[in-house]
A and B are shown apart, each in its own frame.
Chain A
Amino acid sequence: MTTLHQSVKQTEQHGPATGLTRWLYTTNHKDIGTLYLWFSFIMFLTGGCMALMIRAELFQPGLQLIDPEFFNQMTTMHGLIMVFGAVMPAFVGLANWMVPMMVGAPDMALPRMNNWSFWILPFAFGLMLSTLFMEGGAPNFGWTFYAPLSTTYAPPSVTFFIFAVHMMGISSIMGAINIIATILNLRAPGMTMMKLPLFVWTWLITAFLLIAVMPVLAGVVTMMLMDIHFGTSFFNAAGGGDPVLFQHVFWFFGHPEVYIMILPAFGIVSEIIPTFARKRLFGYASMVYATASIAFLSFIVWAHHMFTVGLPLAGELFFMFATMLIAVPTGVKVFNWVATMFHGSLTFETPMLFALAFVVLFTIGGFSGLMLAIAPADFQYHDTYFVVAHFHYVLVPGAIFAIMAGAYYWLPKWTGHYYNERLGRWHFWLSFIGVNITFFPMHFIGLAGMPRRIPDYALQFADFNMVASIGAFIFGFSQLLFLYIVIATIRGGEKAGDKVWEQPTGLEWTLPSPAPYHTFAEPPEVK
């Protein structure tokens, strides 16, 4: 593929507009990236408050603080907000900031659409959160919204939930189109595909996943809408439909979705580890191919989420082995990260600490995933806290830690100041300890048989639940420290040079810190 030479006609530098309209009308990729990141952080705290409400109720057996109906609304909203409101927008925000700077482009390919794709989000989540104040309460059927819980037995607010999902789907698709167009069309001369930084590669593949599955999600919620309001029976057995069909269509979206939330994290970690190991990334090409294989495999494993619905034996075997196959490319990645660090001159600044914790804890989450992939064993684990432990291990110390690592890594480039390293390490250790205290005991109570999504539990699970709740509060409140560190870094701090770290690679480090409002008006030459 040839790269067209792109130059900006207007060479005069102008800063951002002033006032609130700067943020409303902005088409600048850095402004939009900032908006995405702040939005995602607000959603992270919102979803976090819901998680803390859940953990507070589960601190002791019995019903103490909230009634079961509200508890179900909390589990549902916590999941939806964290998945669609915190993790996904955070990655889109990082892509907005970094992808143009990494490929040597002046901005995203479609800046106006970029503005639109962000500004849909606050309305989508406004709509979603408003259901909490509606008659009948917010959606209470779990973030997977299985029919008929989400159709026949749903609260009336489900219609608002459906429209919110439509809106955030449109936002994600527009974001993905923009990222693909930027990466494919706006690369600087000499920046061939196999020279792209891994963060860019993982995002390119993620964007294709988004385009493939977000429309399927839109389709499944549309079917729900029609079942609820227009008398169709897609998922209604009385009319000849089938609730199991819902699960198939949902997980056809849902499984690629979980990789949408982890592939960019792989990219971030692959940027950070070489910098702090002061070595080139081991096995660049194998990293690219491994990412592509994981993306491909994500389309043929969806039914491992539904081993207990009564699949035929052949189906269970196929989905079991296909799922286990994912461990191969994932293992390649973990091996490459470890090999990058091998014989490197490692230092342990905050981004590296988060990246290392990512490698270790994500691998633990991967192993519990393999346990869940064993179809006969899954009949025991299904819908227990073991599943909760598994996906929180891959999403919290997986996706969230990678986002934090990325934020610390690029914060000096964004703000022109170093963050306070001592506080950063405090934040890391509090988060690391908090996460493990929260989620590790969940493995045990899950294996012992505690079901997920219940507000009360049998007495034998009491101690571990108390431990998990204490960990959740440590983890939750230590994120306020992160907020403080970021604000303090924006306001001041030690001045950062262009390169920020000792040996970073990539075009973004050739730019001044803080990165000027317009960068690469003339494309750089990549050798």
Chain B
Amino acid sequence: MDAMQRKNLRLVRRLILGCLLMFCFGFALVPLYDVFCKVTGLNGKVLNVGPVSIGGQDLARTIKVQLIAVNNEGMPWLFKAQTPQLEVHPGETRKTAYLAHNPTASRMVAQAIPSVAPSEAAQYLHKVNCFCFDQQPLEGFETREMPLLFVVDPELPSHIKTITLSYTLFDITPKSEQHTELIGDRSTTRRIWL
């Protein structure tokens, strides 16, 4: 092998390595994007989950929390908040619920995806317990109350008076047990790293 071939080979190896790194970088953008959204609260996708310890209630302030229910395309369930609007004090733990009814004859599984608006408020809304943590199966014609336990952080910036918490309900019934004809559905699993 002459000097030129060696030189070419070395360069080609480096360039291929660069390609592989960029391929990995493409995939690295996925967790990076989640981290970025979590840090900045963009997308309203912050999931402040689990128990929280909050030092005292701020009785001087009252925050309106609006609860919205949305069905994703093709989702036949009846889905709504028990109380569409609550008035809470920051630091106060409140319990409410969403109501879901499966109007079809067959068993279906749903997943609710939350979103908070304004996105600035997302990191101050703590969900202690939420039906959105789990997949929700309902038998045909079954109705269920799905609980939601949340706290608004007293650190919430003072200019925010209203927080909107929206749930979008997706049909994730596995293909094998699906009987109803739905448009554009696809079996999904939760992404592991979320």
Q: A185-B8, A232-B191, A240-B113 are in contact. Are A211 and B168 (CB under 8 A)?
A: no
Q: A181-B8, A240-B190 are in contact. Are A312 and B33 (CB under 8 A)?
A: no
Bound Cα distance A217, B19 (Å): 11
Within the complex, what minimum Cβ distance (angstroms) separates A256 from chain B?
Answer: 11
Between A180, A218, A233, A248, the greatest number of chain B beta carbons within 10 A of the residue's beta carbon is seen for A233
Within the complex, what minimum Cβ distance (angstroms) separates A29 from chain B?
Answer: 15
Q: Does A524 contact B (CB under 8 A)?
A: no
What residues of B have a CB within 8 angstroms of the CB of A245 in the complex?
29-30, 33
Which B residues, 56 to 107, have Cβ-Cβ distances below 8 Å to chain A?
72
What residues of B have a CB within 8 angstroms of the CB of A212 in the complex?
18, 22
Q: A110-B8, A216-B22, A242-B33 are in contact. Are A177 and B188 (CB under 8 A)?
A: no
What residues of B have a CB within 8 angstroms of the CB of A252 in the complex?
26, 29
Bound Cα distance A238, B43 (Å): 15
Cβ-defined partner of B43 (8 Å) among A152, A215, A218, A244: A244
Q: Does B160 contact A (CB under 8 A)?
A: no
What residues of A have a CB within 8 angstroms of the CB of B4 in the complex?
4, 6, 185-186
Q: Does A123 contact B (CB under 8 A)?
A: no
For A227-256 the 0/1 string (1 means CB < 8 A from B) is 010011110111111101100110011000
Count class of interface residues, chain B = 35 or more
For A219-231 the 0/1 string (1 means CB < 8 A from B) is 1100100001001
Q: Does B178 contact A (CB under 8 A)?
A: no
Do B12 and A110 have beta carbons less than 8 Å apart?
yes
Do B19 and A173 have beta carbons less than 8 Å apart?
yes
Q: A4-B7, A216-B25, A219-B23 are in contact. Are A231 and B187 (CB under 8 A)?
A: yes
Bound Cα distance A215, B42 (Å): 27
Bound Cα distance A213, B29 (Å): 13
Do B189 and A213 have beta carbons less than 8 Å apart?
no
Bound Cα distance A240, B190 (Å): 6
Q: A233-B189, A239-B191 are in contact. Are A249 and B12 (CB under 8 A)?
A: no
Do A218 and B26 have beta carbons less than 8 Å apart?
yes
Closest to B115 in A: A237
Cβ-defined partner of A109 (8 Å) among B8, B18, B186: B8
Between A4, A151, A239, the greatest number of chain B beta carbons within 10 A of the residue's beta carbon is seen for A239
What residues of A have a CB within 8 angstroms of the CB of B27 in the complex?
219, 223
Q: Does B194 contact A (CB under 8 A)?
A: yes
Q: Does A325 contact B (CB under 8 A)?
A: no
For B160-194 the 0/1 string (1 means CB < 8 A from A) is 00000000101110000000000010111111001
What residues of B have a CB within 8 angstroms of the CB of A218 in the complex?
23, 26
Within the complex, what minimum Cβ distance (angstroms) separates A309 from chain B?
Answer: 10
Q: Does A379 contact B (CB under 8 A)?
A: no
Bound Cα distance A312, B40 (Å): 10
What residues of A have a CB within 8 angstroms of the CB of B72 in the complex?
237-238
Cβ-defined partner of A249 (8 Å) among B7, B26, B111, B119: B26
What residues of A have a CB within 8 angstroms of the CB of B52 in the complex?
none
What residues of A have a CB within 8 angstroms of the CB of B111 in the complex?
238-239
Do B191 and A181 have beta carbons less than 8 Å apart?
no
Do B43 and A242 have beta carbons less than 8 Å apart?
yes
Closest to B175 in A: A231
Which A residues, 166 to 185, have Cβ-Cβ distances below 8 Å to chain B?
173, 176-177, 180-181, 184-185
Do A238 and B172 have beta carbons less than 8 Å apart?
yes
Q: Does A153 contact B (CB under 8 A)?
A: yes
Q: Does B3 contact A (CB under 8 A)?
A: yes
Within the complex, what minimum Cβ distance (angstroms) separates A92 from chain B?
Answer: 16
Closest to A151 in B: B186
Q: Does B54 contact A (CB under 8 A)?
A: no
Bound Cα distance A186, B4 (Å): 8
4 interchain residue pairs of minimum CB distance: A219-B26, A238-B170, A239-B188, A215-B23
A-B contact pairs, 17 of them (CB 8 A): A176-B15, A177-B15, A185-B11, A186-B4, A211-B15, A211-B18, A211-B22, A213-B22, A215-B25, A216-B26, A231-B187, A239-B189, A239-B190, A240-B113, A241-B191, A249-B26, A312-B119
Binding site for A on B (CB under 8 A): 3-4, 7-8, 11-12, 15-16, 18-27, 29-30, 33, 40, 42-43, 45, 72, 111, 113, 119, 168, 170-172, 184, 186-191, 194
Known: A211-B18, A215-B20, A233-B188; 16 extra A-B contacts, CB below 8 A, are A4-B3, A4-B7, A173-B19, A176-B15, A181-B8, A184-B11, A185-B4, A185-B7, A213-B22, A220-B26, A236-B188, A238-B113, A238-B172, A238-B188, A242-B43, A312-B119
